[in-house]
Structure 1
Amino acid sequence: MNKIKYYILLLFIVALPALQTGCTKVLDKPDLDAISEGKVWSDINLATAFLNRLYTDAMPSWARNSSSPEAINASNASSESDESGGADDMMYGQMTINSVDIWHYETLRSINLLLKRVPAAPFTQADKNNLIGQALFLRAWLYWQMVSLYGGVPLILEPQELNGDLNVPRSKTSECIARITKDLDDAAPLLPNIWSDEEVGRITKGAAMALKGRVLLHYASEQFSPAQNADRWLQALQANKAALDTLVKSGKALMPDFGGLWFVEGNANTEAVMITRFNNPGRTHSRDAAVRPLDEASNYTGGDQPTLDLVNAFPMKNGLPITAPGSGYNAQAYWLNRDPRFAATIAWNGVLWQLSGKSGRIQWNFAGSISSGSTATGFYCRKAVNETYKRAETEISGTDWIEIRLAEVMMNYAEAANETGNTAAAYEVLKAIRKRAGIDAGGNELYGLTSGLDKSGMRTAILLERRLEFAFEGKRGKDLRRRRLYGQLNGTKRKGLRITLTGFGGDKNAFYTAYAAGSVNLNTQYNQYFNEQVIDVDLLNVINFRDNYYFAAIPRTHLEKNPKLQQTNGWDGGTFDPLQ
């Protein structure tokens, strides 16, 4: 939908949360601060505006701690994994029953209201299908956000009334998954394969199918299936293959430029499958400010700082791990000849990073440099950072959030294929992902992958590829959760670098002058000017993820309001089994 039109309608509909009939009259003129429910469901523009508000309330954003209201709808925080530092009660084993509070029932009531009213509305069948299809997707999306954290939750499929029974018990997790996938199955045929450029951001048939594939992949993984049910992996394979085929037939493809794909909007972005649109002026976010160094940000900094562990995880341009014999890795110039996604993701000490459009600007992360004070790891995140934004523009960014891109659907398919015995199919996907990244094919055309991997080896390769491809996209923590891998981090601390200028007696102005004059070559002389010390990013605690954290507790406030809710197993004597 045209972004300007979107916001006008959004502001117009903001007076509708209660949707009560009975406008007051002032001098026989209609009260413009209220619109009757009857009018909403008899006017396609008002009904569409109502749906637009649901998009705003339901769709995810850049990070959980973002200032935008929709950001709470999914935890994208990199600090909930090993890709970034940051204090986190989950990582440190300090969670309480009130730590996770994602409870979407207010928005779900509005979605259920739309689904109840639209079938009888005087709209064309095409308009009804579009409204219902999008609403079904949003309902599935919100239920999945809760189920992925808590397991089964109350399934409420009708708009509740005050005179009804508001105390609904938790449904089994299996029942919730069945409803989520049914909503997505019902939504898909009602939705178009593609929207016009003005409407990009609305849910397509392929997006509904892709979300179903993601849901079933998670449901087949160890979080929900510790004993590994083979039928679940088969269902995940079928769903992701169907989604991939549908998306490719509708014109979806990997974008040629990994680093630049975030800045291509509309249908020209062939990789974006599910997005949340932003625009300046209009609806903006502060993520660019949050991840930039302080001297090039406005009112924010400190987000998404890459750990040394993530930095070392990127292979070389030949695809080999940095520890492999013959990889060509140079520890004194670790940025040279790396997987090109390294430079698109990581800002290291001495890299050309032309923030604010400053030609020739070099990023210095050493202690005492103008921008070093805001990085605890020695690195900054470059992914999806718009270099053209001036400092004052960084907290009003218009870069769209891409929740699902084709690369994920491909990787979801590869993982399910591997788990069902088709490791060869997984190889083909990883090769395609690495080819787009810019990794060399090599003489065996394997792009650095080890030949002859078995299921276990390929599983490890897939999880690594996901870590690299989707760094800072909110996927790493979810992968650790769904495959029950957090325990592998226990007892460790995330690492970073403390970088000290030693050349020129530590005189940074003398160093800057020499560098500007071209007498310093960091590619060959880095260790003559800098000392790097590995440091702990987790200063006070070691990682201590507890097994009961794989399914969160229902917060006390919800238990007090609804006495029929059971607490989750492992929390305060809880009796609800999220594996059922």
Structure 2
Amino acid sequence: MNVKYFLFGSLLTVSMGCSDILDKKDLSAVTDDQVWGDAKYATAYLNRLYERNLPKWDGEADGDADAAIPYFSAYSDESEGGDAYLYGQLTTASVDYWYYGCIRNINLLFEKLEDNPAIDAETCTSLKAQASILRAWRYFGMVRVYGGMPMILRPQKLTDDLLVTRNKTSECIDIILQDLDYAYENLPWSWTGDDLGRATKAAALAFKGRVLLYYASPQFNPDNHTDRWETAYKVNKQAKEELEANGYGLYPSYENLWYDEMNKEVVWGRRYQEPGAVNYWNASTRPISEAQNHAGANHPTLEMVESYPMVTGVPISESKDYDPVLYWKNRDPRFKTTVAYNSCTWELSGKSGRKQWTYVGAELNMPTATGFYCRKAVDPSYTPYYTERSSTDWIEIRYAEVLLNYAECAAMLGRTDEAYAVLKAIRERAGILAGNNGMYGLKEGMTSDQMIDAIMLERKIELAFEGKRYWDLRRRRMFASELNGKVRHGVQPKLNIPEEEFNKIKDTVDFENDYGTYFRDSLVVLDKKFTIDFKDNYYFYAIPNKYLETNSKMEQTQGWSGGTFNPLD
């Protein structure tokens, strides 16, 4: 669905007639009766809900929250940044995800379409099913941050008791799942034409699998209740099988799945079309010399760079072929698709043969802090002007994630053969070599725990810079084991010869094979003042004080000052 439907007024054709203009109603307005008395107007209302509530690229304004979506790569080991979160400096006012304004507008649609005589039942059901997945998305967005929240399912009136209490987390999950079940039962597998991009059965089922994966994970399930993993396994396996039966699958090109719109790997996302709907991912992620008005986000850390195995699938620490100077050689092909490094060919702005330079002195304006840039979903054909007018679609759920969700649930239940099959398929698509044993670099005979480690690494690589790593670290409670007490690093390339001499030969030298003659890479510390210290109570953040102050029945989360609400109930 092209996100073009912002104003109901765009659908109106008004005939002025010849009566006195002072007697006319407000011609720029659409009345409540008109909206809910006509299927076209009601659909326009739903389209506005899509525009306000569909998942977006990091860095964009989000619904009625106070701030834009952060670049979540900075809150993990993917890139630099995320200071207050990673250094243990959050307060009870720091984390504000409050979507009740958006939810009220969604609830209004449900209320107005209930037993609506003016719109046929089939259309009402379709509109409500599409709205259901949006409401589930908004509530899940708060529950994964805070735990249980007030579950308001109809528009509140001034005569209602507005001092609502927090529902148990288990109740919230149940209601979210009910919305997703309703969507699954009443949506088609696909849409066509201008409707392409609307919610589908595939999106509802895959999203349900993600919700259940979260609820089974240590963040919500520290005692590891097996029944939650069994439920998550069944739904994620169902999602894998039904999506595959309906044409979904891994797209052959890992790089081009972001540019070939609505390909078979896209399960749910947001469509963009310049000029009406654009995003700033390209501008924020590219070097400032090839961007416009936005820059400085998503610089890969050295830790992220070193996560990628060799093309054989073997970790660099275990490979005799790994060269720490020519570190990009013979690596997992996803490495060069995701990471730009000093001297690599990166033909931004359509510049044939363009090299990316990150050595000291090469970038005088906003140089990368880590020595690297992120290439994922950065369209090289865009000129700087178009980088802040990007039409690249956002993919919130793709089939690879569905597979990984299923594999994780299988591994947690000891069904490692099923997990192996998933990892092999993903690595085969990536271009990793199968090897003589057909294992794609995976160790044979892994235990469940070893398989979970392998899956989390695969998620880190496969879903890099897609806003997933931070959430994975939270739901698996992995910050302590992966990051706490550590610092992140980058590299700082420096010339071995005078820059004047280098400029004379830089267009003729094969740096892919002779890098060390001209450069030396120094290690730089990115976390200069503090080591990473993600607090245990951050797995469920504090409700901001301003919401407690306006609602005397709203409990604070346990682990925060005055907190009495248990998010694990």
Q: Same fold (TM over 0.5)?
A: yes
- The count of corresponding residues between Structure 1 and Structure 2 is 559
Other structure's SS at 2:267 match: strand
The answer on 1:223 being equivalent to 2:219 is yes
1:73–1:145 CA contact under 8 A, matched in 2: no
Call closer, same or farther: CA 1:153–1:86 in 2, change over 3 Å: same
Aligned to 2:89: 94
Instruction: Please state how far the C-alpha of 1:198 moved relative to its aligned partner.
Output: 2.3
Q: Distance in 2 between matches of 1:515 and 1:401?
A: 37
Aligned to 1:34: 29
Instruction: Please state how far the C-alpha of 1:237 moved relative to its aligned partner.
Output: 0.4
Q: How does 1:49-88 map onto structure 2 within 5 Å?
A: 49-63=44-58, 65-66=59-60, 77-88=72-83
Aligned to 1:540: 529
Given the alignment, which residue of 503, 506, 511 partners 1:512?
Answer: 503
1:364–1:371 CA contact under 8 A, matched in 2: no
Aligned to 2:167: 171
Q: Distance in 2 between matches of 1:126 and 1:385?
A: 41
Other structure's SS at 2:101 match: helix
Given the alignment, which residue of 272, 277, 296 partners 2:271?
Answer: 277
The answer on 1:147 being equivalent to 2:143 is yes
Other structure's SS at 2:7 match: helix
1:274–1:404 CA contact under 8 A, matched in 2: yes
Instruction: Please state how far the C-alpha of 1:40 moved relative to its aligned partner.
Output: 0.6
Amino acid across the alignment from 2:563: G
Give a deviation string over 1:458-509, Cα, whole Å, max 9, x none: 0000000000000000100001000000112111111100111112x3x1x4
Q: Distance in 1 between matches of 2:75 and 2:515?
A: 33
Aligned to 1:482: 475
Instruction: Please state how far the C-alpha of 1:76 moved relative to its aligned partner.
Output: 5.1
Q: Distance in 2 between matches of 1:373 and 1:94?
A: 26
Aligned to 2:183: 187
Amino acid across the alignment from 2:315: P
The answer on 1:214 being equivalent to 2:207 is no
Q: Distance in 2 between matches of 1:99 and 1:414?
A: 34
Other structure's SS at 2:6 match: helix
Give a deviation string over 1:294-330, Cα, whole Å, max 9, x none: 100101111000000000000011111001144x111
Aligned to 1:577: 566
Instruction: Please state how far the C-alpha of 1:425 moved relative to its aligned partner.
Output: 0.1
Q: How does 1:320-399 map onto structure 2 within 5 Å?
A: 320-326=314-320, 328-370=321-363, 373-399=366-392
2:148–2:168 CA contact under 8 A, matched in 1: yes
Aligned to 1:549: 538
1:13–1:46 CA contact under 8 A, matched in 2: no
Instruction: Please state how far the C-alpha of 1:212 moved relative to its aligned partner.
Output: 0.6
The answer on 1:493 being equivalent to 2:487 is yes
Aligned to 1:21: none
Aligned to 1:20: none
1:289–1:298 CA contact under 8 A, matched in 2: yes
Amino acid across the alignment from 2:492: R
Q: Distance in 2 between matches of 1:466 and 1:200?
A: 28
Amino acid across the alignment from 2:423: L
Aligned to 2:238: 242
Given the alignment, which residue of 451, 457, 469 partners 1:464?
Answer: 457
Q: Distance in 2 between matches of 1:140 and 1:357?
A: 41
Which segments of 5 or more consecutive residues in structure 2 lack a partner in the other structure? 13-19
Instruction: Please state how far the C-alpha of 1:562 moved relative to its aligned partner.
Output: 1.0
- TM (norm. structure 1) is 0.94
Instruction: Please state how far the C-alpha of 1:67 moved relative to its aligned partner.
Output: 5.0
Aligned to 2:113: 118
Which segments of 5 or more consecutive residues in structure 1 lack a partner in the other structure? 17-24
Other structure's SS at 1:10 match: coil
Q: Distance in 1 between matches of 2:70 and 2:293?
A: 22
Aligned to 1:156: 152
Q: Distance in 2 between matches of 1:157 and 1:12?
A: 24
Instruction: Please state how far the C-alpha of 1:289 moved relative to its aligned partner.
Output: 0.6
Call closer, same or farther: CA 1:240–1:26 in 2, change over 3 Å: farther
The answer on 1:294 being equivalent to 2:288 is yes
Q: Distance in 2 between matches of 1:522 and 1:495?
A: 23
Q: Which stretch shifts more, 485-494 or 459-468?
A: 485-494
Amino acid across the alignment from 1:234: E
Instruction: Please state how far the C-alpha of 1:59 moved relative to its aligned partner.
Output: 1.5
Amino acid across the alignment from 1:284: V
Q: Which stretch shifts more, 213-222 or 523-532?
A: 523-532
Instruction: Please state how far the C-alpha of 1:523 moved relative to its aligned partner.
Output: 2.8
1:262–1:384 CA contact under 8 A, matched in 2: yes
The answer on 1:423 being equivalent to 2:416 is yes
Give a deviation string over 1:80-124, Cα, whole Å, max 9, x none: 100100142111100001111111111111111111111323223
2:284–2:295 CA contact under 8 A, matched in 1: yes
Instruction: Please state how far the C-alpha of 1:512 moved relative to its aligned partner.
Output: 2.9
Call closer, same or farther: CA 1:110–1:83 in 2, change over 3 Å: same
Q: Distance in 2 between matches of 1:442 and 1:32?
A: 70
Aligned identity (percent) is 48
Aligned to 1:451: 444
Q: Distance in 2 between matches of 1:252 and 1:400?
A: 17
CA RMSD of aligned residues (A): 1.8
